[in-house]
Every structure is written in C-alpha cells, then in structure tokens.
Amino acid sequence: MWQDRVLDYIDEHATEIVTDLAVLVRMPSVSGSDTEIEIQHVLSDRMITMALDLDTWQIPLDETLAEPDFPGVEVDRSEAWGVVGRVAGRGDGPSLMLNAHVDVVPPGDMISWEGADPFSGRVTADTVEGRGACDMKAGLVASLWAVRGLTELKVPLRGDLVLATVVGEEDGGLGTYALLRRGWRADACVIPEPTSLDIAPATAGALTFRITVPGAATHASRRLSGISAIEKFIPIFAALRHLEKQRNAIKHPLAARWELPIPIEIGKISAGDWASSVPDTLHADGRIGVAIGEDISTARRALEEAVGAACQDDGWLRAHPATVKWWGGQFASGITELDSPIISTVQRCHAEVTGSPQTMWATPYGSDLRLMQGIGAVPTIHYGPGDAERAHSPRESVSINELLTATRALALIAIDHCGLT
C-alpha cells in the first residue's frame, strides 16, 4: 500500500529529517533580512532536485505593496522571492497546498537565551533548538519531507500537490499575498504552523497600531509648567486594558480554551529624548486582537473610540487628543467552514498516525490562513508540530517526535486529499 511505503520512507529518513531542520534553523532568516532572500533560493534549489514543477519569482514589491487589500509589512525589504513547487497530479483529483513561512522573528533579548546561540540548531535527545525551530521551520521541514517521500516513491497522486514556501508571514503576510496575486490556488491548504498537532481551522486577527500622545516639553526642574506625554498615556493605557476585558467577555466557541482570545497589548513605547526633560511626545506601538467573525473596521473603531473617550476625560488631551494610526501587519481573522472535507481528512490521517484524536481550536495569533481563506477562498487549516507557546520566546525548540509525526501525517493527508490513480 502506498501509505505504508511512504511511512516507511519517512522512518528510514528520520535522522536526515532532523538534521535538515537543524540546518535550516542555522539560517537566521529573520523577516526582512538577506537570509530571508537566501533561504528561498536554497529551498527553490531543493525543489529542483525533488523534480517539482517550479515557480520561483521575484515579488514586485512596489506594485504588491500598493494593492488596496495588501495586508501590510513592518520591515523594509529591497527584494523578496516567491517559491512554489508543484507535483502534477495524474488525474483530476482535488489539489492540496502546503504553505509554510520561512521567516522568523528576531531572537530578542540575548540575556534570556542564557548564553545559547539563538540560531544554534542544536539537536538534543528529543528536541531541535533555535529561533524558528518551532515557528515554523519544523512545519516547513515536515512539508518538504512529506512531499519528498511522495515524489521519490512516485506515488501516483490524482490531484496536484503544491508546496509553497513564503516570506514575510511574521510581519503581515507578504509571501502568501504575493502567491495568491500570482494566481496560485488549491482546493484546500494546510499551514503547518505549530499547533501541537491539534487542528486549528480558524485564526483570530491582529491589527498593529501606533498611538501618539502629545505633551509639552520643558526642563524637568520646572516640570509643572510642562506636560508629560508619559503621564498622559497612563489613562489611555488603562482604557485599553478595560476595552480588552470587555472585548474578551464573550468568546467564540473555538476560542474558549484561551483565557484571553483577543488581547490588546502595547509592545513598544518611546517618549522623550533627555532624562532631565519633560517628555513631549509618546509613541506606543501595539496590537489589538480581532475576534473570529469580526470585521477589521469594527475592531479599529472600538480602539479609536476607547482612546477618544479617555482623551475626553482629560483637560489637556481634550484639547490635544492622542491619535491612532494603523500601520504594519493588518491580520483579519478567518475561519474555514467546519464541514470542509480537509478538516475530516486531517483528523482521520492524524488519528491514523498517532492512534489518538486531536482537539480543535482557533489560534489566538493572526496567520496566513485569513489570506488563503479570505482572498483565495481556499479552505485552510493549521496543523503542525511544536507548541506555539515556544514560538517567539527565548530558548525556542520543537519536539522531534512531533516533527516526525507531522511529516507522516502530511504525507497521508496529501494521499487522502489528492487521491490515487
């Protein structure tokens, strides 16, 4: 049986699969870095050796970023590449896309890595470590090897199997937006983001914003004649915490497992330029979660109104209101119809490989699902190795066991979904 043969192939290549993940983790493909460009060429070369029909193209950045529905970027890029490899189906079966992002977030505070190299790709008895190991190079490697197993064994799939590696997921979804713009579609898509091998057919959204709070500078020794922008931000921050509580009071059933499914957080603040001055402008950059089924414009309005109301309660801010600007990643929420066949396919194949069922939930983070599903109308789910709690955190790592399980399951999902001739 083809299924058994491909599972044997994956078992025989387990060590290579783990090594491959370590090699890719050692490439620091931070969003917007030169390595983000380089890794796409490495993967494109790899797909040539796998004899896939290859579409490698330079993304026309100016045109793409100018599109009215472009989801936003947060880092500058001079160059970006799209890579899609296709195993042509031998019949008229449904097509499947595996879509994995190659970019990773920066390592963050080096102290929290406790002396470890963030891009070590160190392999322990049961994990591979390093930035991106979990989010989501393990999912990328699982996809690559699932496809490789199927092509090397010449498994006669009826529908097309498409492997897309994308840039810019972390800062808005440039890569997936670009491949949709180029015309790539499939009858279903699996994004192997870290779900601890659960199935996530929905994603909350996240909108990046900047609040600018005006103040009035003066020498700190005469601070009463100035206005501290930091002090004026405090009631605004309190208003955001209050809004967050209100917005999370009712949860979408798929988000019930999260204490806070749609958080609002300020990730970065800057104000003032001198220790002995009253700071006159504060910039607070943050993100607001978008509920499943909620419009982007509704979420934006809620935040703008909360900031506006806080300003009304303060004499200075009433006359000099804080402003809200939407910039960077604008992730809508998204959900795939729960009766889409890809959901039962993934559930069945996962159970076949592990012998146990999986739970279903929505991710609290934004992802490319909303582009595939929203713009592309492609039923899309997340299913991948790694605990998302390890993503973006110091000492990121992924379980080797989950990596190999995902590789096996993805191969079976492709066979099941695309069919055999």
The footprint of Zn ion (CB under 5 A) covers 135-136, 193
CB of residue 374 vs Zn ion: minimum separation in angstroms?
Answer: 17
CB 252 within 8 A of CB 276: no
Which lies closer to Zn ion via its Cβ, residue 129 or residue 193?
193
SS3 226: coil
420 is written with which tokens? 């055999």
Which lies closer to Zn ion via its Cβ, residue 18 or residue 136?
136
CB of residue 297 vs Zn ion: minimum separation in angstroms?
Answer: 26
CB of residue 347 vs Zn ion: minimum separation in angstroms?
Answer: 22
CB of residue 23 vs Zn ion: minimum separation in angstroms?
Answer: 19
The backbone region for 305, taken as left when phi is positive above 0, alpha when psi lies in -120 to 50, beta otherwise, is: alpha
Question: Is residue 92 exposed (0-12), middle (13-18) or buried (19+ Cβ within 10 Å)?
Answer: exposed
φ, ψ of residue 98 to 5 degrees: the values are -105, 125
Which lies closer to Zn ion via its Cβ, residue 100 or residue 162?
100
DSSP letter assigned to residue 30: B
CB 73 within 8 A of CB 65: yes
What distance in Å separates the CA atoms of residue 347 and residue 358, rounded to the nearest whole number?
7
C-beta nearest to Zn ion: residue: 135
What distance in Å separates the CA atoms of residue 67 and residue 63, rounded to the nearest whole number?
7
Which lies closer to Zn ion via its Cβ, residue 136 or residue 189?
136
CB of residue 369 vs Zn ion: minimum separation in angstroms?
Answer: 11
Which lies closer to Zn ion via its Cβ, residue 160 or residue 193?
193
CB of residue 169 vs Zn ion: minimum separation in angstroms?
Answer: 6
Which lies closer to Zn ion via its Cβ, residue 145 or residue 365?
365
CB 403 within 8 A of CB 21: yes
